């Protein structure tokens, strides 16, 4: 692995050089009216940064605004890549970014499969099922990767209230929000780990989403039945509406509903992805508000992600956000 020293970074004007020691740089690609791109060049022992001409195809970059509409901005990615970017967080942060790009790829594959009936006349539902299972597994992975980030940050945090005794966090998200099979309240999480309520409440808000991933996977992928639960409809995959991962939400518009209580699959997948990434954002907003971090390593820009299929993820996040704003009246949810 190439080691980049602070002296090598001296010619890059966008960095807060004083704040870099002990932190990692997500990339050396910047956009400021044009692409500014540095790479390490030279023989071992005599290496330096060289400015190159080029632009990223699948990478992170720093800029004030997204360069293209397909470029993705997530507050959590920006926060852990520009502010809470301590060196020991580099591995889980890189894995989180890979998972996000993998989700965009799965969305593109599902979109492709939905229009592939002429090329693949049989077995499309099975292909969709395996892809949906992968999406659920990646969303589940994001919870534990982000928990790894939270554990490392938690170990660094010094609480302002000396009366609160901070206790070690669990290394898995499930073991943090559950005691055996019992779901812990935000208050219980706060007491159990000596955690400020503002952060414990993030765990409380994330619990429903975490359990929804389990519920959706069990219903759609491993339901213990020979019945097909993803159907190959006319131009889209369909599922029974009773298999919604979110019973308290109206995921489907009336115009999307089909006979026999069937509804399109993709709104459920899009909402799962949106709400998983919203959990990461929720934690980062709370941490930014209640924990003092050093200055951003790139003060006047934000961190964006670009990938081959990120436009599918951007569209899914928009759909998931719109559908998440719709809730079922309490009496209807109870009857259902």
Largest Cα separation within the chain, whole Å, is 71
Query: How far, in Å, CA of 68 to CA of 61, rounded?
Result: 12
For each successive 10 residues of the chain (336 residues), what is the average pLDDT? 74 93 94 91 76 88 96 98 96 97 97 85 86 92 96 87 84 93 94 93 94 80 60 86 84 91 94 96 94 93 97 97 74 39
Q: Are 101 and 164 in contact (CB under 8 A)?
A: no
Residues in the chain: 336
C-alpha distances (whole Å) from 306 to each of 55, 62, 104, 134, 192 are: 10, 11, 11, 21, 40
What pLDDT, on the 0 to 100 scale, is given for residue 2? 58
> For residue 221, what are its two tokens?
């992928």
pLDDT at 331: 43
pLDDT at 285: 95
| Strand pairing report for 237-240 and 262-264 | antiparallel
pLDDT value, residue 334? 36
Quick one: which of 208, 141, 199 has its CA closest to 169? 199
CA angle 72-75-76, nearest 5°?
Answer: 105
Residue 52 confidence (pLDDT)? 85
- Sign of the C-alpha dihedral computed for residues 330, 177, 154 and 163 taken in this order: positive
Q: What's this model's pTM, rounded to 2 decimal places?
A: 0.90
What pLDDT sits at residue 332? Answer: 41
Helix (H) / strand (E) containing 263: strand 262-264
């Amino acid at each position: 692995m190439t080691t980049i020293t602070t002296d090598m970074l001296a010619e890059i004007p966008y960095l807060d050089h004083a704040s870099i020691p002990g932190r990692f740089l997500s990339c050396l690609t910047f956009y400021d009216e044009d692409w500014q791109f540095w790479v390490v060049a030279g023989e071992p022992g005599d290496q330096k940064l060289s400015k190159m001409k080029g632009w990223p195809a699948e990478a992170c970059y720093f800029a004030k605004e997204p360069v293209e509409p397909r470029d993705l901005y997530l507050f959590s990615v920006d926060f852990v890549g520009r502010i809470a970017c301590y060196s020991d967080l580099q591995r889980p942060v890189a894995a989180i970014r890979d998972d996000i790009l993998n989700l965009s790829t799965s969305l593109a594959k599902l979109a492709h499969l939905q229009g592939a009936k002429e090329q693949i006349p049989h077995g499309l539902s099975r292909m969709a099922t395996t892809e949906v299972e992968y999406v659920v597994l990646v969303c589940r992975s994001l919870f534990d990767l982000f928990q790894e980030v939270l554990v490392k940050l938690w170990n660094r945090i010094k609480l302002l209230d000396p009366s609160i005794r901070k206790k070690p966090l669990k290394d898995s998200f499930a073991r943090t929000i559950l005691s055996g099979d019992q779901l812990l309240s935000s208050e219980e999480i706060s007491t159990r780990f000596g955690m400020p309520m503002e952060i414990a409440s993030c765990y409380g808000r994330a619990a429903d989403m975490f359990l929804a991933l389990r519920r959706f996977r069990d219903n759609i992928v491993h339901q213990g039945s020979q019945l097909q639960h993803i159907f190959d409809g006319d131009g889209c995959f369909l599922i029974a509406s009773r298999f919604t991962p979110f019973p308290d939400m109206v995921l489907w518009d009336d115009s999307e509903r089909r006979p026999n209580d069937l509804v399109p699959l993709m709104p459920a997948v899009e909402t799962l992805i949106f709400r998983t990434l919203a959990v990461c954002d929720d934690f980062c907003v709370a941490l930014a508000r209640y924990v003092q971090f050093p200055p951003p390593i790139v003060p006047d820009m934000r961190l964006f992600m670009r990938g081959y299929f990120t436009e599918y993820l951007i569209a899914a996040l928009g759909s998931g956000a719109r559908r998440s704003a719709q809730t079922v009246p309490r009496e209807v949810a109870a009857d259902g």
